[in-house]
Every structure is written in structure tokens, then in C-alpha cells.
Chain A
């Protein structure tokens, strides 16, 4: 083992790694449980990469082959049902964990100086994750996927000024067609993975550089726990349990497949996007058709965009946190937004 280390060290230079393994430690306090969320999200992302790569061995994009290849994976390829169902379930859980990671980081003010870039890359990565979900959803090319994509891209079209250009860019034309499938596939399999790896790479490098942030005003309990091997072992326990959960979900609640997409059929009533888009979707449905002189839907879309921007820019808005002081206003605002989004999501789910 030591010989291998020396060999590699001579060629690559492993001092930074050795330093990290020896020194990296995770603070202990009443909220330190939330530190596990980042690692869990990373694990689930790796699962997505792995199962996604495996699916790529058999998936054939294109209107006359996509659906059939997914059917084949589910029904004929040995354990194809397992890989596909894990990919499907892990996508949902990954986004949920990522949202939790983001919100706990927000509420713990982890975004404050000097971690602004960590925060920005993180928020961008969350956007990338949502794009992953949206683009991947279309790939089986069944009727549900087709109509959910139609509805979703149509919402993009309500943005003022750029709306119709944005819609055409997403759809590869006026309607959802094979062109849409082609570019969603390219997005899902090439563009977004590159973006994710770049953002994630920067994000993780910065985390190693700055170490874990402790919320302002929170007392530490005892010495920080060493990352290697203590915290990592705990991480591993969580990851193993997550894997067991994914296997159970895959076996007991496998991913379904509707009938093949038919562009000429009419949309089934009550069509909805994936659950992580419920909140904006529901809000747009509830907005009156006109707000003052503006179109209601445009106001809703812009509203959400503005909310997202403010959220991303919070490190530069929260002056108190930047000085290391507790900022209750931002805490309350964060909870308010969380309750609002969760409430809308729950409402959309029930109706």
C-alpha cells in the first residue's frame, strides 16, 4: 500500500491529498446532521451517472426507436427493469435531497463570505439538476412524457420578449417533435453532464479549501470530527441505506411506461409536469389572467425568475451574515419561501 503511494507521489504529487486526509474535519454542533446532505446528493448523482451510462448501452434515441428501446430495457434486458427504475427513483430523490441541501445551507448561512462562489456554483448546479430531470423525462417518448414536455415548454413560452424564442429553442421548432427529442437527448447526455461536472468540481474544490461553515451564533460541541475515516464511514452508512431504499423502490414500485407518444392525439386532462415543477406550475394556474396592464402568466414567470435571482444573489444581499452575525430577517424570508413552495407543491399534488 505504502509502495503504491510512494510510486504515485513521485509522479503526481500527493501532498495536497495527504494533507486533506489528515486535516479535514467536520464541526460538531446541533445542526451538524445536515452536513450529510451534500454527500448524499453527490452519491445519488454518481448513481445517476452510473445507471444513466448503463441505460445508454441500450437506449436508442429517435421517434421510431426511443419508446421501443425503453420497453426492451424494461422487459427483455436482464435487470434492465432494475437499472431503469433505480435511475427513475434516484432522479426524484436526488432532486429532493439537493433541495434540502440547498435550503439547509441557506438557513445555516453557509453562503456568507468567503463562500459566495460555493453558493453560486451550488445554485447553478441545482438548476442543472432540474434541467436533467426535465430533459430526461421526455426520453422514453411515451404519452405522459410527450404531453408533460409540451406543457412545460409552453410555460417557458410565456416569458415576455424572449418567450417565443426560448420555446422554439427548447422544442427545436414550433411543436414537440423528434427534433425536441434529439436536442433533449444531447442536453441530457452531453451538455448537462459537462456543466454538472464543471460546477460540481469547482463547488467541491471550494468546499475543501474553505472547510465546513458553522452557522453564525451557533456553539460547537467538542472537537471537530475527522473526515477520514470517521465522517466518511458515516457517509458510507447513509449511502448504503440509500442504495437499499432505491433497490426496494425499484423492485416494489418499478418505473412505468405509458403508451407510445402520439402527437396527433389530444392531451389527457389534468396533465402535469414532474413534481419538482409543481410549485411554479400551480402558481401560474392560480394567477389571474391579467395583473394590471400585464399578462398574468408573464408576471408569474418573471416573478419566479426574479425569486430565483434573489435567492442566488443572497450572499451579496445579506450584509449581516457577511459580517458573521445572525440575520433573522433572511432566516424568516427563507422559511417563508420554503413554506410557500412546499405548500404549492402539496396543493398541486392533491389536485
Chain B
């Protein structure tokens, strides 16, 4: 315990008081530091509720009941639109929905049994191949997985 020459008891008491206050503050800030670290870590570690519709790079596109055979639906896949088609003969197929001509969003036309682009009458058959109008390339296809009554579409485009 330090003692400077000529120090008076009053100064001693003050110093003592200040020291234990600082020590107390130190203890408090140590606890605070531990909490500041523990709080985010604990929140991180306990898993959040998994939002529906995401599993291993696939997106929930539709319920099977939503799309009877001969219908289609445009839905988001990442930042881009994609189209899910339940073909008249019962297959599920999905493609990127950006028309390869000028990027308008295509749609399914059951009267034509084709995927159609409203901007300049571009047509794609149900394998995605460009069969009519200006589009120069087929639509990239995405894999579809049907799990029970849910239809998932993978985000990666297949390379033919």
C-alpha cells in the first residue's frame, strides 16, 4: 500500500475511496464487456425459426394444389423471375422467366401449350427451346423437386 511522505489521513481516505470506486467501476465494465460479447454470441448460437420455403439452394415455388396440369406461375428465384409450369401431360418444369430477346417476363399460355413472351410474340416450347419470334436462345432450365405437396425449384440453372 503506497504511502507518500507527508500525506495526511484525509488524503489517504479520499484516495482509498476513489480507488475502490475505480475498482468497482473496473469490475462493472469487465462484466459489461463479458455481456457485450455473450449477448450476440448467444443469440447467434440458438437457431432462428427456419423461414418456410428454403432448403439447400432451392426455393419453394408453389403448392401442388395451386397449379393443375396446363398452368404456370411466375415466382422469384433470387432477384430474377422464374416460371414454373405444370405441363398438360403432368410434368413439372421450371425455367428462367426472362425472355432471351429483350428480357421481358414470359408467361405460360395454355391455349398455345407454350411459354410466351407478350412483348414481341416470342415463343418457347415446354423444353424451353425458342421456337418462334425474335428470341435467339432457349430459356435456361432449373431443376424441380416435388416433395409431398410442395414444389421446389433449385436456384442453379442447368447447363445443357
What number of residue pairs across chains A and B have CB atoms under 8 A from each other?
Answer: 42
B33 contact set on A, CB distance < 8 A = 240
Cβ B57 vs Cβ A76 within 8 A: no
B154-A83 in contact (CB<8A):
no
Q: Which of B44, B57, B159 contacts A68 (CB 8 A)?
A: B57
Say if the beta carbon of A82 comes within 8 Å of chain B.
yes
Q: Which residues of chain B are near A76, meaning CB under 8 Å?
A: 48, 51
Residues of A within 8 A of B159 (CB): 264
Q: Mark A241-259, 1 if CB is under 8 A from B, else 0.
A: 0010000000000000000
Give the docked Cα–Cα distance between A78 and B48 (Å): 8
- Are B40 and A83 within 8 A (Cβ)? yes
Whether B43 is near chain A, meaning CB under 8 Å from some CB there, is: yes
- Asked if B48 contacts A77 (CB within 8 A), the reply is yes
Please name the residue on chain B nearest to A86 by beta carbon: B40
Is B44 a contact partner of A64 (Cβ separation < 8 A)? no
Q: Say yes or no for B41: interface residue by CB 8 A criterion.
A: yes
Q: Are B45 and A65 in contact (CB under 8 A)?
A: no
A-side contacts of B56, CB under 8 Å? 60, 64-65, 68
User: A77: which B residues are within 8 A, CB to CB?
Assistant: 44, 47-48
Contact present for A80 and B155 (CB under 8 Å): no
A57 contacts the other chain (Cβ, under 8 Å)?
Answer: yes
- Least CB distance from B110 to A in Å reads 32
Per DSSP, chain B at the interface is: mixed
Q: Which of B40, B47, B54, B56 has the most CB of A within 10 A?
A: B40
Contact call B51/A64, Cβ cutoff below 8 A: no
Instruction: Check if B155 sits within 8 Å of A68, measured CB to CB.
Output: yes
B150 at the interface (CB under 8 A from A): no
Tell me the bound Cα distance from A240 to B57 in angstroms: 39
Residue A79 at the chain B interface, CB threshold 8 Å: yes
Query: How long is the Cα–Cα vector from A83 to B41 in the complex, in angstroms?
Result: 8
Select one of A64, A72, A82 contacting B40, CB under 8 A. A82
How many Å lie between the Cα of A269 and that of B111 in the bound state? 47
Chain B minimum-CB-distance residue to A54: B44
Q: Which B-chain residue is minimally distant from A73 (CB atoms)?
A: B44
* Chain B proximity of A10: nearest CB distance (Å): 30
Bound-complex Cα distance A185 to B142 (A): 27
Assembly CA distance A260 to B44 (angstroms): 24
Within 8 A of A (CB), among B30-77: 33, 37, 40-41, 43-45, 47-48, 51, 54, 56-57
Selected from B43, B154, B155, B156, the residue in CB contact (under 8 A) with A79 is B43
Inside 8 A of B40's CB, which chain A residues have their CB?
78-79, 82-83
Chain A 54-74, CB-CB to B under 8 Å as 1, else 0, gives 100100100011011000100
Binding site for B on A (CB under 8 A): 54, 57, 60, 64-65, 67-68, 72, 76-80, 82-83, 240, 243, 260, 264
